[in-house]
Amino acid sequence: MAVRPTHWPRALHSARQLADIALDFDCAASMPIDPAARQAMAEALTLDLGNPSSTHGKGQAGRALVEWGRGQLAEALGVAPRELVLTSGATEANALAWRGVLDPLLAAGRTPTVLTSAVEHASVRALAADYRQRGVRVVELPVDDQGQWREETLDTLVASADLAFVSLIWVHNETGVVHPVARVAHAARSRGALVHTDGTQAMGRQAIDPSMLGVDAITLSGHKFGGPPGTGALWLRPGTSLQAVQPGHQELGMRGGTENVLGIVGLGAAATTLAARLVEAPRVRRLRDRLATGLAELGGQRNAVAAPDQDSGHIAHVSFVGLDAPRLVMALDLAGLAVSAGSACASGTVEPSHVTRAMFGDGEAGRALARGAVRFSVGPHHEDRDVDRAIALTAQVVGRLRQAAAARHW
């Protein structure tokens, strides 16, 4: 069936209605665009820029803005601008790391071993599945019922024969658990493996010092810290060699294609706010704790409870046993509260996420926890009144759904 084109005013009106939700507690999926990024992009949009690869003035104006954005992100991370490969986001950065390491090894006839975990982002799980089919041995770190890696398995798995690549999430996007990446990185690099971490959720919540973390590559995503969607980067330790996935002269030969100038401007402007976001992190943690306490009083079981140094402080992962998480999320949305049943990249499915299944197992009690698991995530733009309103709306919706469930079972 042919799709009829929609005029822009109508499309804009429809999008505005959908986006005009009273409370957004799904910040782990995407943060609101920071005013600094919005302003910088609006100002850049007034310029008649050329292709950044062109040598004339218009092209060099575009190039200057690309390098400005790269420089701001590099300064925020404390790295050299040349160490950053700008991408369209975290998914592309993850793919660049995986394919850049593994494709040359496979072409050389090696059968490498990759160490990852049972709770990686969907983009990494897709890569793992692809390389399994191509003969790569992919080993997964299991997790406990709080979502943390099982310590007793770490040393054994890191010592795997022909370990060539390690790819592990740092701050978990669904649970908020902070994983001990530095410990694994030290052990794996001493055996000659290249270590990559998905640092998407860490930006603005953890102090990122690549030299201290000890990894070779870090994935970053702009829209998780106030930049525009469709922007990101892969940091590479100096001397790290990856094969380009899409060859071209852009990005030092690592990523072909004309750069997203406006997006990179927004990414760079958002990076200038990272220090302020770190200052706000304790307040965000306090709000998250207030929210988690309120949800527990409604009968929600808080999951992934961790010590402060293993807790990002912005996610409340809660199970409402007896309720169906996708139905709860939809009802909350209609009530004016945005939350998520698992990560955004896995939402839309009726099955519990792979993360909750890995945490809770296949027993009846575990399945009930997984089916009712919802993620609330807090940002620096929230206030106490927002948290109180979110708790009140959740109380109304949970009460209504429980009454309906009881009536069905009567």
* CATH number of residue 236's parent domain: 3.40.640.10
Quickly state the pLDDT bin for 409 (edges 50, 70, 90): low
pLDDT band at 2 (very low <50, low <70, confident <90, very high): low
Question: Do 82 and 155 form a contact (C-beta atoms < 8 A)?
Answer: no
What integer pLDDT is reported at residue 342 of this predicted model? 65
pLDDT of 314 higher than 80: yes
Asked if 256 and 293 sit in the same domain, the reply is no
The 8-class DSSP code of residue 380 comes to T
Q: What is the pLDDT of residues 234-283, one digit of tens each?
A: 999 999 989 998 889 999 899 999 999 999 999 999 999 999 999 999 99
Our count of domains for the chain comes to: 2
Does some domain include residue 23? no
Residue 16 lies in a domain: no
The pLDDT of residue 123 is 97
Same domain, 88 and 193: yes
Q: Tens digit of pLDDT for each residue in 195-232?
A: 999 999 999 999 999 989 999 999 999 999 999 999 99
Residue 16 has pLDDT above 60, yes or no: yes
Instruction: Give the model's pLDDT for residue 344.
Output: 52
Domain range enclosing 214:
39-271
Higher pLDDT, 304 or 218: 218
Q: What integer best gives the mean pLDDT of the chain?
A: 94
Characterize the bridge pairing of strands 232-236 and 217-221.
antiparallel
Q: Active-site residue numbers?
A: 345
- In a domain? residue 311: yes
Which tokens go with 180? 């001990």
Longest dimension (CA), the chain: 75
Say if residue 405's pLDDT is above 90. Answer: no
Check whether residue 45 and residue 190 sit in a common domain: yes
Mean pLDDT of 19-26: 88
Half-sphere exposure (Cβ direction) of 292: Cα atoms closer than 13 Å: 22
Position 100 pLDDT exceeds 60: yes
Would you say residue 362 lies in a domain?
A: yes
Q: Which of 247, 271, 295 delimits the end of a domain?
A: 271
Residue 25 lies in a domain: no
Residues 217 and 303 in one domain: no
7 is a domain residue: no
Angle 384-408/325-335 helices, nearest 10 degrees?
Answer: 130
Using 50, 70 and 90 to split pLDDT, how confident is the model at 101?
A: very high
Using CA atoms, how far apart are residues 344 and 354, in angstroms rounded to an integer?
13
Judged by average pLDDT, the poorest of 58-67, 230-239, 274-283, 338-347 is 338-347
User: Does residue 39 contact residue 29 with C-beta atoms inside 8 Å?
Assistant: no
Task: List the structure tokens of 327.
Answer: 């139905």
Same domain, 246 and 367: no
Residue 346 has pLDDT above 60, yes or no: no
Name residues whose C-beta falls within 8 Å of residue 255's C-beta, 6 or more positions apart in sequence.
85, 86, 87, 92, 96, 244, 245, 246, 248
Tokens 């955004």 -> residue: 344
Question: Rounded distance, CA 330 to CA 375, Å?
Answer: 13
pLDDT in tens, 347-373: 555 678 999 999 999 999 999 999 999
pLDDT at res. 228: 99
Specify whether 264 is located in the same domain as 302: no
End residue of a domain, out of 271, 295, 328: 271
Q: What is the pLDDT of residues 122-153, one digit of tens each?
A: 999 999 999 999 999 999 999 999 999 998 88
**pLDDT number for residue 21:** 76
Same-domain pairing of 76 and 210: yes
% of the chain beyond a pLDDT of 90: 84
Residues 244 and 100 in one domain: yes
User: Is residue 44 assigned to a domain?
Assistant: yes
User: Are both 241 and 99 inside the same structural domain?
Assistant: yes
pLDDT at 367: 94
> Same domain for 50 and 83?
yes
Which pLDDT does position 161 carry in this prediction? Answer: 72
CATH number at residue 296: 3.90.1150.10
As given in the structure block, the two tokens for residue 214 are 């000890």
Task: Say if residue 295 is in the same domain as residue 397.
Answer: yes
pLDDT > 70: percent of the chain:
96
Q: How far apart are CA 75 and CA 197, in angstroms?
A: 20
**What is the arithmetic mean of pLDDT over 298-312?**
92
- Domain stop point among 271, 288, 313: 271
Residue-wise pLDDT for 158-202, tens only, equals 877 789 999 999 999 999 999 999 999 999 999 999 999 999 999
Residue 38 and residue 228 in contact, taking contact as beta carbons nearer than 8 Å: no
Decide if 185 is inside a domain.
yes
305: pLDDT confidence band, cut at 50, 70 and 90?
A: confident
Does one domain contain both 119 and 186? yes
